[in-house]
Structure 1
Amino acid sequence: MKQREVTDKHHTTWTCVQAYAGVDSAAATAATERSAAADGGVTVVCTPTGGAQTVRLELASDWNDALSDEELTAAIANG
């Protein structure tokens, strides 16, 4: 499972992973397919350190490689 950590301007570190990634089962595969956005995007869950709330984002399927840290933290802030 690929995960990515970013730190925002408030010094909160966020760990982001694609929903259901790394779970190897038929149910997880079906859930991944159902959670994919109509435009081919995927659900990404970002969990913070500290008191902030977990954020669910709909991002492009190549989010882990294509988004800069600044773009990912902006998506989290707007999430």
Structure 2
Amino acid sequence: MSEQRDVTTPDGTAWTCIEALADLPDAAKDKLAGEGRRAVVCTPSGGAQSVRLSLAEDWRDMPEAELAAAIEAGRAGGGR
């Protein structure tokens, strides 16, 4: 299941987020990203660098503002 999610950060950058390693079994995902978490990669439409995040496994249901904040934190080096 490699559904993507699109979000726009407050600076107007459009991002496409997708779960990395989506085809792995849940046990492997838990080992790589942390139990109950998923490795997510968000790629901007412009020239900014992609951001790797560790988000709760239900990240697709996160409010848009929360996902945008996670991206901003990731860009600042804070990860999540």
TMscore range, shorter length: 0.7 to 0.9
Give the partner amino acid of 2:47.
G
- Cα distance between partner residues in 1 of 2:16 and 2:32: 19
Unaligned runs of 5+ in 2: 75-80
How many angstroms does 1:9 deviate by?
A: 1.3
The residue number in structure 2 matching 1:47 is 43
TM-score by structure 1 length? 0.79
Give the partner amino acid of 2:33.
A
The residue number in structure 2 matching 1:26 is none
The residue number in structure 1 matching 2:66 is 71
TM-score by structure 2 length? 0.78
- Cα distance between partner residues in 2 of 1:54 and 1:35: 19
Question: Which SS does the other structure have where 1:77 is aligned?
Answer: helix
Query: How many correspondences in the alignment?
Result: 70
- Higher gyration radius (CA): 1
Question: Which SS does the other structure have where 2:36 is aligned?
Answer: coil
**Runs ≥4 in structure 1, deviation > 4 angstroms?**
none
Identity of aligned residues (%): 50
The residue number in structure 1 matching 2:32 is 35
CA RMSD of aligned residues (A): 1.6
- Cα distance between partner residues in 1 of 2:19 and 2:72: 18
